[in-house]
């Protein structure tokens, strides 16, 4: 099983590391250590998105649940997080036995590539929400054949955290189109998206004082080193760069070679040579203008029902309907 993972890493490395600029798909940042570091990032003083989105869900969860009256929630990227729970509580409260709703079922469908994560989170949630049926689906939501389980009533697909920002414009349009195709008319889509704001705050959120984001980014080097059996590859040879790209309104994370790099990847039998100062693109985090986002959703066939933001106007939750 580790072999297939390394095969995919090898293929992605061969396709990306010798490109100009060199790049590697962002998902490789999220191995076990990377996921732990990201969790730490969400609690940093500079990293506002998680706190803002949680605040919106706390204050508007019931309103969101009421606006959809959904019988099923499909979440891209499964979670046991506070955010998932706030939504489940809001939907479960609506589905709960009241005289007119008695027995009305509600199903939570966490969708993730990792069977392990799905199983453990499903078990925990099934315990904590006895009134909700938890029906995990192993799937890559970026794959072309996205299929959602059928439901008795409206379904709501939710994609939280601002992870839509990881897609470039073409990938984003593609994702939204395929999502709309997977939904039935009358189904909903709840999207968490970070908003364009003061550049200083944006850059600080991805270049924290404690250096956690730097460790998170440089973990990519560690993933390459161990996954591709690299010789001569050292995390300390790379600097973390977080930069605002105004044209594409996104934060870009890069790794910059501090010196000449000469690596041998035994797993793919290739040498990787970089001149000092060469930068590798590791992650993009797009920030949005709410009207532009509504237009992109509409373009995909999803009509905005309502947008909520936190009090500071930092982050948005947009509910749209197929
Ligand atoms: C998990 C993609 C939403 O873009 O803000 C945070 C990832 N990277 N700090 C983001 C991330 C560096 C995060 N997302």
Predicted pLDDT at 2: 47
Nearest-CA residue for atom 10 of ligand 1 = 285
pTM to 2 decimals? 0.94
Check if 76 has its Cβ closer than 6 Å to any atom of ligand 1.
Answer: no
- CA dihedral of residues 169, 170, 174, 176 (deg, nearest 10): 10
Whole-angstrom distance, CA of residue 171 vs CA of residue 114: 22
Could you tell which of 30, 37, 38, 250 is best to mutate to test the pocket of ligand 1, judged by most ligand atoms within 8 Å of the CB?
A: 38
Task: Tell whether the model's pLDDT for residue 101 goes beyond 80.
Answer: no
117-158 pLDDT, tens digit per residue, is 888 888 889 889 988 999 999 888 877 788 899 999 999 999
Question: pLDDT (tens digit, 9 = 90+) per residue, 248-303?
Answer: 999 999 999 999 999 999 999 999 999 999 999 999 999 999 999 999 999 999 99
pLDDT for residue 105: 84
Q: Which CATH architecture has domain 48-197+288-321?
A: 3-Layer(aba) Sandwich (3.40)
Is the CB of 207 inside a 6 Å radius of any atom of ligand 1? no
CA distance 16 to 210: 30
What percent of the chain shows pLDDT beyond 70?
95
Task: Indicate the pLDDT class of residue 96, thresholds 50, 70 and 90.
Answer: low
Atom of ligand 1 nearest to the CA of 242: 12
Q: Is any ligand 1 atom within 6 A of the Cβ of residue 192?
A: no
**Would you give the DSSP letter of residue 163?**
G
Domain ranges in the chain with CATH number 3.40.50.150: 48-197+288-321
Of 163, 219, 248, best ligand 1 pocket probe by most atoms within 8 Å of the beta carbon: 163
Taking the CA of residue 285 as reference, the ligand 1 atom at the shortest distance is: 4
ipTM above 0.90, yes or no: yes
Question: Taking residues 217-224, what's their average pLDDT?
Answer: 97
In a 13 Å sphere around the CA of 28, the CA atoms on its Cβ side amount to 27
Q: How far separated are the first and last CA of the chain, in Å rounded?
A: 38
Quick check: 142 and 112 in contact, CB under 8 A? no
């Amino acid at each position: 099983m580790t072999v297939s993972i390394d095969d995919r890493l090898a293929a992605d490395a061969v396709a990306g590391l010798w490109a100009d600029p060199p790049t590697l798909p962002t998902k490789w940042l999220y191995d076990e250590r990377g996921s732990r570091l990201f969790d730490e990032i969400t609690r940093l003083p500079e990293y506002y998105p998680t706190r803002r989105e949680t605040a919106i869900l706390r204050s508007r969860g019931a309103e969101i649940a009421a606006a959809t009256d959904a019988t099923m929630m499909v979440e891209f990227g499964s979670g046991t997080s506070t955010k998932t729970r706030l939504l489940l509580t809001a939907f479960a409260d609506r589905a709960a036995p009241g005289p007119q709703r008695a027995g009305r079922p509600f199903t939570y469908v966490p969708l993730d590539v990792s069977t392990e994560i799905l199983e453990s989170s499903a078990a925990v949630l099934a315990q904590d929400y006895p009134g909700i049926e938890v029906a995990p689906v192993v799937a890559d939501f970026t794959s072309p054949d996205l299929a959602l389980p059928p439901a008795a009533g409206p379904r709501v697909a939710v994609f939280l955290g601002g992870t839509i920002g990881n897609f470039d414009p073409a990938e984003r349009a593609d994702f939204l189109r395929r999502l709309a195709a997977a939904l039935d008319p009358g189904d909903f889509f709840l999207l968490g998206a970070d908003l364009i704001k003061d550049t200083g705050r944006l850059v600080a959120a991805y270049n924290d004082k404690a250096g956690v984001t730097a460790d998170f980014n440089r973990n990519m080097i560690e993933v390459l080193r161990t996954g591709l059996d690299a010789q001569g590859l050292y995390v300390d040879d790379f600097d973390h760069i977080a930069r605002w790209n105004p044209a594409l309104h996104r934060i870009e994370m890069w790794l910059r070679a501090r010196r000449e790099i000469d690596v041998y990847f035994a797993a793919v039998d290739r040498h990787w040579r970089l001149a000092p100062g060469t930068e590798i693109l590791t992650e993009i985090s797009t920030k949005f203008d709410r009207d532009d986002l509504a237009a992109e959703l509409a373009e995909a066939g999803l009509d905005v029902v309502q947008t909520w933001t936190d009090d500071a106007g930092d982050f948005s939750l947009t509910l749209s309907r197929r």
